[in-house]
């Protein structure tokens, strides 16, 4: 499947040139961007992931939300949304868990059209502690890079057979500028995600497979609770942390296929706190 006209992953009602045609609507209701799309979101029980699930669900997607340990939050979110959403648990620090998660997502949805890699953690790798350094690198590379890479591999395999798909990975501004001395492995793992995304976009774009990365700065979630105080927040250009909904809305747009030629790009969402 190398001809562009054979690619199925496009915006709603594509033409053979891959552009949505102008149509005359007989009603005044807006069309949901993601109606009928089947999407797996990792790390989706709270924070950025939960905001992503809410935005995608609002736009008509059928979803599998992945969680690790916070089963209660995942169940509460599925109850809140009511339908078209399934919660699936998996510990992505286990190298074998990605395959099981992907298989279960396909079982629940039939096929997966979009993969959103959001799972991750700010894991320390203290340079002054040899054991902590070694463990930190192992844990960061598995959870923050290898788990996403393994899911991407499975997605590419299925997307090729399906005629296309999209991969959206949440990375970090640390991927560009590095992180502090106790989190060097985190920054390196997140930089690896950028290289992975660019490689996927270049290698498989001709198959209709799109790949994007989103690099947030400080986001108003539990991950940064206690890290940014009011004084530090007051020095930010917008004088506030980034709402997780800002990232969620961008994910929804990218998942729609409405800007296919953004594939390979990294989109910074930092409120101008980090500008490159």
Active site residues: 186
Three-state DSSP state, 70: coil
Rounded to 5°, the CA angle 124-226-217 comes to 70
Token pair 């929804």 is found at 252
Starting at the earlier edge strand, list the strands of the sheet with 266-269: 85-89, 62-67, 38-41, 114-117, 165-170, 209-216, 266-269
- Spell out the SS3 assignment of 188-212: HHHHHHHHHHHHHHHHHHHHCEEEE
Q: Report d(CA 177, CA 175) in Å as an integer.
A: 6
- Name every residue whose Cβ is closer than 8 Å to that of residue 193 and which is 6 or more positions away in sequence: 117, 144, 145, 148, 169, 171, 175, 213
If we measure between CA atoms, which residue out of 139, 148, 146, 141 comes closest to residue 41? Answer: 148
- Helix boundaries (H) for the chain: 47-58, 71-81, 97-109, 130-141, 147-162, 174-177, 184-204, 230-233, 244-255
Using an 8 Å Cβ cutoff, are 13 and 21 in contact?
yes
Using an 8 Å Cβ cutoff, are 209 and 252 in contact?
no
């Amino acid at each position: 499947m190398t001809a562009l006209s054979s690619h199925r992953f496009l915006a709603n009602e594509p033409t053979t040139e891959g552009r949505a045609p102008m149509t005359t609507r007989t009603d005044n209701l807006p069309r949901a961007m993601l109606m009928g799309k089947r999407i797996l979101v990792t790390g989706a029980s709270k924070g950025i992931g939960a905001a992503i699930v809410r935005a995608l669900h609002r736009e008509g997607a059928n979803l599998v939300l992945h969680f690790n340990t916070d089963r209660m939050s995942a169940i509460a979110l599925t109850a809140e949304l009511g339908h078209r959403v399934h919660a699936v648990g998996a510990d992505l620090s286990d190298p074998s868990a990605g395959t099981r998660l992907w298989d279960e997502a396909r079982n629940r949805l039939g096929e997966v059209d979009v993969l959103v890699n959001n799972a991750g953690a700010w894991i320390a790798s203290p340079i002054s502690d040899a054991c902590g350094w070694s463990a930190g690198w192992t844990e960061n590379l598995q959870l923050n890079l290898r788990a996403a890479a393994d899911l991407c591999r499975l997605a590419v395999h299925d997307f090729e057979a399906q005629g296309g798909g999209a991969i959206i990975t949440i990375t970090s501004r640390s991927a560009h500028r590095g992180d502090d001395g106790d989190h060097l492995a985190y920054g390196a793992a997140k930089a690896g995600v950028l290289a992975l995304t660019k490689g996927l976009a270049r290698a498989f774009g001709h198959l209709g497979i799109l790949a994007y990365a989103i690099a947030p700065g400080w986001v108003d979630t539990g991950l940064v609770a206690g890290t940014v105080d009011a004084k530090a927040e007051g020095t930010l250009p917008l004088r506030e942390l980034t709402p997780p909904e800002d990232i969620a809305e961008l994910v929804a747009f990218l998942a729609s296929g409405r800007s296919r030629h953004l594939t390979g790009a990294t989109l910074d969402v930092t409120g101008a706190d980090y500008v490159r």
